[in-house]
């Protein structure tokens, strides 16, 4: 059984509430952007008028009223689904475990983009699966390298049916796989008989408002898509979905039923009501604009504090929550954790995102949840921690 790192290890601020710490660690949305009065009125009505249903057990299906809310979100990135393909989850973390338990046998190998969201590796390992990294080049996941890896694993007698990826505004790098690469990836997946697990919490949070077609939209029969309301609405409702090829949906549904009996009817009804009355556009546009501003504040502060061409390399992300800093000389960034704590700033060391401790020379900064007036100060503290960690 895999025990470390835990998925919540990337969210230290949930556990440590030191007032003066500026956290660039956890991937948390900024819920000050939610229209709380409106949501409160909608929830209150749901309980008053429909409480006997909304607070009862329900069936292991996505509520009929929530289906249009999901199809609306998915269609914005070219995704296609129907109620028959949908399986409710309590967020994509649960979806990842359901996939690992339902779609592979213990001992099988899951191919994984790395660096990757640590909760994915933890879920697959909890399901008894082994992980192998997929080759990457300067443009991200490399379909030709993928083919070589699968052929090699097959020659070694290993069963490899699943590929996990987070192709849009990836956690932790912020990178997006190009539309051309996506087409080639799906061709290679078809040739090799691979099923793609597409984890897409951030796809709608592109700062220029543009989207890249999801893999699911390119080939719905070859992709198990993990969707979540955590980043476009709020994670506290613990509500997400899997959009799977119809022949796999029932196996996934059985597993989720074993996990929780049913999804939360109240959470599903809250989201369906918000979509029907208010719609997603205003909220998502608000998140995008706020995160774009914070991305700019963080990138500008990094440029003036660290300079381009110095010890650290990074790309300016075009969407999502994260900025990935890599040390040019390969220093283990864990050495900066204690100085950062002493200066009152936090980050997540890169090794958390490796499947075998790799990427220790990088670190992840999250800009979505830091108060914007404190971002420059946080970066200055980080730069001071880098100086202390280098000289010490
Ligand atoms: N996948 C990725 C890539 C994530 O970044 C996260 C949350 N940080 C999750 C899955 C899990 O999200 P949730 O369970 O809240 O839907």
273, 301: one domain: no
DSSP 8-state class, residue 177:
-
Residue 138: pLDDT band (50, 70, 90) is: confident
> Residues 49-78: what's their mean pLDDT?
96
Question: According to the model, what pLDDT value does residue 1 have?
Answer: 46
Helix (H) / strand (E) element for 296: namely: helix 281-306
pLDDT > 90: percent of the chain: 91
DSSP 8-state class, residue 130:
E
pLDDT digits (tens, 9 = 90+) for 193-221: 999 999 999 999 999 999 999 999 999 99
192, 292: one domain: no
Question: According to the model, what pLDDT value does residue 386 have?
Answer: 96
Largest CA-CA distance found in the chain, in angstroms, rounded: 64
State phi, psi for 339 to the nearest 5 degrees: -60, -35
* ipTM > 0.95 (yes/no): yes
> Residues 6-19: what's their mean pLDDT?
66
Q: Residue 3 domain-assigned?
A: no
Question: According to the model, what pLDDT value does residue 178 have?
Answer: 96
299, 182: one domain: no
Q: What is the CATH number of the domain that holds 264?
A: 3.40.640.10
Sheet arrangement for strand 130-133: 86-89, 240-243, 223-228, 195-199, 160-165, 109-112, 130-133
Cα 244 to ligand 1 centroid, rounded to whole Å? 18
**Has residue 15 got a pLDDT over 80?**
no
- Is residue 153 within 8 A of residue 134, CB to CB? The reply is no
Q: Is the CB of 198 under 6 A from ligand 1?
A: no
Q: Is the CB of 173 under 6 A from ligand 1?
A: no
Measure the CA–CA gap between 15 and 18, rounded to whole angstroms.
9
Measure the CA–CA gap between 30 and 145, rounded to whole angstroms.
38
72, 188: one domain: yes
Residue 305: pLDDT band (50, 70, 90) is: very high
When mean pLDDT is compared across 133-142, 238-247, 292-301, 327-336, the lowest value belongs to: 133-142
Q: Is the CB of 170 under 6 A from ligand 1?
A: no
268, 290: one domain: no
Q: What is the CATH number of the domain that holds 320?
A: 3.90.1150.10
268, 295: one domain: no
Helix (H) / strand (E) element for 218: namely: helix 215-218
Mutate to test the pocket of ligand 1, among 201, 317, 352 (most ligand atoms within 8 A of CB): 201
345, 258: one domain: no
Q: Is the CB of 92 under 6 A from ligand 1?
A: yes
Q: Is the CB of 199 under 6 A from ligand 1?
A: yes
Those residues with Cβ within 8 angstroms of residue 361's Cβ, 6 or more apart along the chain or in another chain: 326, 327, 330, 331, 332, 333, 350
**Which structure tokens are listed for 241?**
């979905």
Mutate to test the pocket of ligand 1, among 28, 91, 198 (most ligand atoms within 8 A of CB): 91
Q: Which of these three, 278, 298, 327, is where a domain ends? A: 278
Measure the CA–CA gap between 367 and 256, rounded to whole angstroms.
32
Cα 201 to ligand 1 centroid, rounded to whole Å? 6
Cα 154 to ligand 1 centroid, rounded to whole Å? 30
Residue 392: pLDDT band (50, 70, 90) is: low
By C-alpha distance, which of 69, 372, 348, 85 is closest to 232? 69
Q: Which of these three, 246, 278, 310, is where a domain ends? A: 278
Domain count of the fold of the chain: 2
pLDDT > 70: percent of the chain: 95
First to last CA, the chain: 37
59, 120: one domain: yes
Cα 220 to ligand 1 centroid, rounded to whole Å? 21
Nearest-CA residue for atom 7 of ligand 1: 27
Question: According to the model, what pLDDT value does residue 14 have?
Answer: 61
Question: According to the model, what pLDDT value does residue 261 have?
Answer: 95
Q: Which atom of ligand 1 is nearest to the CA of 93?
A: 14
Q: Which of these three, 278, 298, 325, is where a domain ends? A: 278
**Has residue 349 got a pLDDT over 90?**
yes
Cα 248 to ligand 1 centroid, rounded to whole Å? 22
Question: According to the model, what pLDDT value does residue 18 have?
Answer: 63
Cα 311 to ligand 1 centroid, rounded to whole Å? 30
95, 230: one domain: yes
Q: Which atom of ligand 1 is nearest to the CA of 228?
A: 16
By C-alpha distance, which of 297, 319, 314 is closest to 363? 314
- Domain, as residue range, for 318: 22-34+286-391
Nearest-CA residue for atom 5 of ligand 1: 171
- DSSP H stretches of helix in 333-374: 337-343
Q: Residue 50 domain-assigned?
A: yes
Q: Residue 8 domain-assigned?
A: no
Q: Is the CB of 235 under 6 A from ligand 1?
A: yes
pLDDT digits (tens, 9 = 90+) for 69-84: 999 999 999 999 999 9
Q: Is the CB of 274 under 6 A from ligand 1?
A: no
94, 209: one domain: yes
55, 190: one domain: yes
Q: Residue 222 domain-assigned?
A: yes
Q: Is the CB of 89 under 6 A from ligand 1?
A: no
Measure the CA–CA gap between 160 and 153, rounded to whole angstroms.
7
DSSP 8-state class, residue 112:
E
Q: Is the CB of 240 under 6 A from ligand 1?
A: yes
Angle at 277 between CA 275 and CA 280, to 5 degrees: 35
Q: Residue 12 domain-assigned?
A: no
104, 89: one domain: yes
By C-alpha distance, which of 365, 362, 359, 367 is closest to 382? 365
> Residues 232-254: what's their mean pLDDT?
97
Residue 45: pLDDT band (50, 70, 90) is: very high
């Amino acid at each position: 059984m895999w025990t470390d790192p835990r998925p919540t290890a990337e969210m230290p601020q949930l556990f440590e509430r030191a007032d003066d710490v500026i956290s660039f660690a956890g991937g948390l949305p900024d819920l000050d952007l939610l229209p709380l009065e409106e949501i409160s009125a909608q929830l209150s009505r749901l309980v008053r008028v429909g409480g006997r249903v909304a607070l009862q057990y329900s069936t292991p299906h996505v509520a009929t009223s929530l289906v249009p809310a999901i199809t609306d979100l998915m269609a914005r990135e070219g995704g296609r689904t129907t109620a028959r393909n949908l399986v409710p989850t309590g967020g994509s973390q649960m979806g990842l475990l359901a996939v690992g338990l339902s779609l592979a046998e213990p001992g099988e190998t899951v191919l994984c983009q790395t660096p990757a969201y640590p909760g994915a590796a933890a879920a697959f390992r909890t399901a008894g699966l082994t992980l192998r990294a997929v080759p990457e080049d300067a443009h991200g996941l490399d379909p030709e390298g993928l083919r070589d890896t699968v052929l090699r694993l097959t020659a070694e007698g290993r069963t490899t049916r699943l590929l996990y990826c987070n192709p849009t505004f990836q956690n932790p790098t912020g990178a997006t796989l190009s539309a051309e690469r996506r087409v080639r990836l799906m061709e290679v997946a078809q040739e090799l008989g691979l099923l793609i697990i597409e984890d897409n919490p951030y796809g709608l949070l592109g700062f220029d408002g543009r989207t890249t077609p999801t893999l699911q939209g390119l080939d719905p029969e070859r992709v198990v898509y993990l969707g979540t309301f955590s980043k476009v609405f709020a994670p506290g409702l613990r509500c997400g979905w899997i959009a799977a090829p119809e022949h796999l949906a029932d196996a996934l549904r059985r597993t989720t039923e074993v996990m929780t009996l049913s999804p939360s009817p109240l959470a599903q009804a809250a989201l369906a009501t918000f979509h029907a009355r208010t719609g997603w556009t205003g909220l998502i546009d608000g998140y995008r604009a706020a995160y774009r501003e914070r991305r700019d504040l963080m990138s500008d502060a990094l440029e003036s504090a660290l300079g381009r061409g110095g010890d650290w390399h990074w790309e300016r992300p075009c969407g999502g929550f994260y900025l990935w800093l890599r040390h040019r000389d390969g220093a283990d960034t864990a050495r900066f954790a204690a100085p950062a704590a002493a200066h009152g700033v936090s980050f997540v060391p890169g090794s958390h995102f490796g499947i075998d401790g790799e990427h220790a020379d990088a670190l992840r900064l999250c800009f979505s949840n830091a108060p914007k007036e404190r971002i420059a100060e946080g970066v200055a503290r980080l730069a001071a921690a880098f100086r202390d960690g280098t000289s010490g």
